[in-house]
């Protein structure tokens, strides 16, 4: 109940604060050593789940919805995310080329690989794999879709964002929102196409829930790909 009063009085806070807190915890993960960042991910996931619970009464559009389009979009984004890998420089590589070292972008830390980090403790290693899968599929999609596709897209269209229907197309907002979303990810090109896909899904269905579902499907499939193929650089 701690956050429900400020969330209830500010539609902006209800959609922005949870994402910013989650982002701040993400940036803090790599600041306290390799082992600590796995525990911080657990903390971040629990905090994110709590914030979703607190914002739920005030963010009416945050309702999961399943449709054929959502399933297709989720699978398609996963396929392009994996398929495009290696064909363009990632954000950290661009940072190196520009003389910025690896401080540019989320890829600055080493890949998330609990099986290597906790090799002598397999139960703990698989616990953190499970935490990562749960966080990516159940916590990240609602937080990011509410911020990007519900708030930011509509706010760019018009500051009184709640008066903007979720199905209204605005080219500038469509491109800019997806671009911001893209540079939140190491795989920026895949992130850009992903942003276009999820936003188009919201516009087509005129609701946010399908994009939340598609995002969850993408992240589950990507997580299973990471673990099954040892493609830890995606994490």
User: Please, which pLDDT band fits residue 82 given cuts at 50, 70 and 90?
Assistant: very high
| pLDDT over 90 (residue 5) | no
**Are the C-beta atoms of 91 and 107 separated by less than 8 Å?**
yes
Q: In terms of DSSP H, where are the helices of 56-103?
A: 68-83, 91-97
What are the phi and psi torsion angles at 138 (to 5°)? -115, -25
Neighbours of 20 (CB within 10 A): 12
Supply the pLDDT for residue 31: 87
CA 91 to chain centre: 16
DSSP 8-state class, residue 162: G
What are the phi and psi torsion angles at 64 (to 5°)? -60, 140
For residues 171-186, average pLDDT: 96
Residue 169 CA neighbour count, 13 Å, CB half: 7
pLDDT tens by residue, 15-59: 999 999 999 999 998 888 899 999 999 999 999 999 999 999 999
DSSP 8-state class, residue 110: P
DSSP 8-state class, residue 230: T
Supply the pLDDT for residue 107: 46
| pLDDT over 80 (residue 79) | yes
Give CA torsion, residues 212, 132, 22, 152, to 10 deg. Answer: -30
For residues 80-92, average pLDDT: 92
Supply the pLDDT for residue 10: 92
| pLDDT over 90 (residue 165) | yes
Supply the pLDDT for residue 98: 67
pLDDT tens by residue, 190-234: 999 999 999 999 999 999 999 999 999 999 999 999 999 999 999
DSSP 8-state class, residue 56: G
Q: In terms of DSSP H, where are the helices of 113-231?
A: 114-117, 122-134, 140-145, 153-157, 171-182, 188-205, 209-229
**Are the C-beta atoms of 197 and 145 separated by less than 8 Å?**
no
pLDDT tens by residue, 102-115: 444 444 467 889 99
Strands (E), 153-220: none
- C-alpha span between 210 and 66 (Å, rounded): 6
Neighbours of 103 (CB within 10 A): 9
- C-alpha span between 39 and 117 (Å, rounded): 12
Supply the pLDDT for residue 203: 97
What are the phi and psi torsion angles at 178 (to 5°)? -65, -35
Is 63 or 97 the better-scoring residue by pLDDT? 63
Indicate the pTM of the whole model: 0.92
Supply the pLDDT for residue 99: 63
Supply the pLDDT for residue 109: 60
**Average pLDDT taken over every residue of the chain:** 92
Supply the pLDDT for residue 220: 98
pLDDT tens by residue, 115-161: 999 988 999 999 999 999 999 999 999 999 999 999 999 999 999 99
């Amino acid at each position: 109940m701690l956050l429900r009063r400020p969330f209830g009085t500010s539609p902006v806070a209800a959609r922005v604060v949870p994402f910013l807190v989650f982002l701040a915890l993400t940036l803090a993960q790599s600041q306290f050593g390799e082992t600590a960042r796995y525990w911080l991910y657990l903390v971040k996931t629990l905090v994110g789940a709590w914030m979703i619970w607190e914002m739920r009464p005030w963010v009416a559009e945050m309702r999961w919805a399943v449709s054929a389009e959502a399933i297709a979009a989720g699978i398609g984004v996963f396929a392009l995310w994996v398929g495009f890998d290696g064909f363009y420089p990632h954000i950290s590589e661009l940072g190196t080329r520009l003389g910025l070292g690896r401080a540019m972008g989320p890829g600055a830390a080493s890949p998330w690989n609990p099986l290597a980090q906790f090799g002598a403790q397999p139960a703990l290693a698989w616990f953190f794999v499970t935490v990562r899968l749960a966080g990516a599929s159940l916590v990240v999609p609602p937080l990011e879709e509410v911020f990007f596709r519900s708030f930011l897209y509509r706010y760019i269209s018009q500051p009184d964002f709640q008066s903007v229907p979720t199905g209204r197309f605005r080219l500038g907002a469509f491109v800019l929102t997806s671009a911001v979303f893209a540079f939140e990810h190491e795989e920026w090109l895949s992130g850009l196409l992903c942003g276009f896909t999820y936003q188009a899904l919201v516009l087509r269905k005129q609701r946010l829930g399908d994009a939340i579902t598609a995002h969850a499907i993408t992240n589950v499939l990507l997580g299973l790909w990471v673990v099954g193929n040892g493609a830890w650089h995606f994490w």
